[in-house]
Amino acid sequence: MVELRRLDETLWEIPREARADMRVPARVFADEELLDAIRGDQSLEQLQNVATLPRIVDAALAMPDVHQGYGFPVGGIAATEPPDGVVSPGGVGYDINCGVRLLALPISVDELGERKEALVHEISRAAPTGGRGGGPLSLGERELERVLVEGPRALVEMRGVGTDEDVELTESRGRLEGASVRAVSDRARTRGADQLGTIGSGNHFVELQRVERIHDGEAAEAFGLREGQLTVLIHSGSRGLGHQVCTDYVKRMDASLARYRIELPDRQLSCAPLSSPEGRDYMAAMAGAANFAWANRHAIAHGVRSAIAQVLGKNTARATRTLYDVAHNVAKLERHGGREVCVHRKGATRAFPAGSTELPDAYRQVGQPVFIPGSMGTASYVLVGRPGSMERSFGTVCHGAGRRMSRTGARKQISGADLRRQLEAAGITVRCASNRGLAEEAPFAYKEVDRVVEVVERAGLAGRVARLRPIGVVKG
């Protein structure tokens, strides 16, 4: 049993002295009930392992949605200081820049009326699911290279997909600098070539929602949200391309550990100094995969607009706007505490406060929009970044409710067919190719999103803006 000491009402710490190899403390944001759930897997042990990374600064951090992952726990944050500080592919994850984009429709759920089933069906046709490709935007070699370097901007210019405003309202404007086509393997590029515009599988989805409640009127007005309004939340990432990038560099860094005299408690944390050839190449390949992921959600949003045009009319589709797009799994060079650090966000979301020059003009006075998906049977939240995130968590909050049960455990408790019937009875239209995949994402397999969000709000990391209720879901 890992011993934690309570620092305040939402923050707990495993002190550096708990293990001889820890370089910094390990801290987790939680309340007592969430902490009990977190203790149910190996995530706290993994967080201690993260605290052993060379040149990690301040603390290894975990959000209240934390759960066991590959190397790093999902919901983990670590900042390392260049040039000797390391970058770890396990601190980003296999689904590089898995993230979410929220679209705001110009109509209400009442105006949608009886067209909900038709809209969900058309979205399922426009945004393919499953583990394979077959997307609507199969790219040639040169086109794919532009996407890797430029992100969604390339789709606007090459194919007329999406708008300039969509790009502007994307984290980092949909482009991490320093991406290199050369650093992305042929295998990774082959896997991604026909996957733009596809949702994928696992916990990826497109969800039709209504704004159930406004919590912060000023921020909601700035974001263009009102009660009863329809929204669409898109959750996907870099698909096979990002998975292959992670696979390639975990193997390469594992082989180089002895060269840099790095000793790790878990080989899944394989890493290399940011200044090393392996570190530089990974950052360049990861940037390319992140740009691809932003382009993927951009393309999915284009498909959703096509579905809206088909069911609700072209004017409604044209007035459907991107509220914002945020990354979950990424490593970024940022300035915190007066120094440049590489912030690993593994299943965690950037949440910069008002005044940040990183934010688009539309939100600079209010703060960054943050989206916290719950489960397809409960609710999701729109939050806004607060100054506490910069002071306490490298400008970061949670990325969802967080699993409390394995996929296998969920399947043992309910069948996909039974879950589908329950969701439909609750007024949630479901499109999912696999009953098995549906059962794995059962709402009871996740922590309570309301409790998770309450913790980050009490911690001063972000504030609630709106609560969104699902009315239809296309499940990967």
The residues annotated as belonging to the active site are 399
Question: Which tokens is 93 given?
Answer: 């994850």
Residue 19 burial by Cβ neighbours in a 10 Å radius (0-12, 13-18, 19+)? middle
Give the sign of the dihedral formed by CA 46, CA 48, CA 50, CA 52: negative
Q: Which residue has the tokens 């970024």?
A: 332
Residues forming a β-bridge with 77: 61, 345
How far is the C-alpha of 436 from the C-alpha of 467, rounded, in Å?
29
SS3 assignment, position 465: strand
SS3 assignment, position 390: helix
How far is the C-alpha of 425 from the C-alpha of 438, rounded, in Å?
16
Phi then psi for residue 241, to 5 deg, are -65, -50
How far is the C-alpha of 152 from the C-alpha of 154, rounded, in Å?
5
- b/e map 467-476, b = 16+ CB within 10 Å: bbbbbbbbbb
425: CB partners within 8 A, 6+ apart:
none
How far is the C-alpha of 12 from the C-alpha of 393, rounded, in Å?
13
For residue 280, count other CB atoms closer than 10 A to its CB.
17
DSSP sequence for 69-91: -SSSPEEEEEEE-TTTSEE-GGG
The CA-based diameter of the chain, rounded to the nearest angstrom, is 64
How far is the C-alpha of 42 from the C-alpha of 158, rounded, in Å?
46
230: CB partners within 8 A, 6+ apart:
104, 105, 107, 108, 109, 112, 208, 209, 210, 211
Element (H, E) at 244: helix 239-256
How far apart, in Å, are the Cα atoms of 259 and each of 223, 255, 282? 49, 8, 17
Query: In one letter, which amino acid is 380?
Result: S
How far is the C-alpha of 267 from the C-alpha of 249, rounded, in Å?
13
- Under a CB-based contact definition with an 8 Å cutoff, are residues 156 and 146 in contact? no
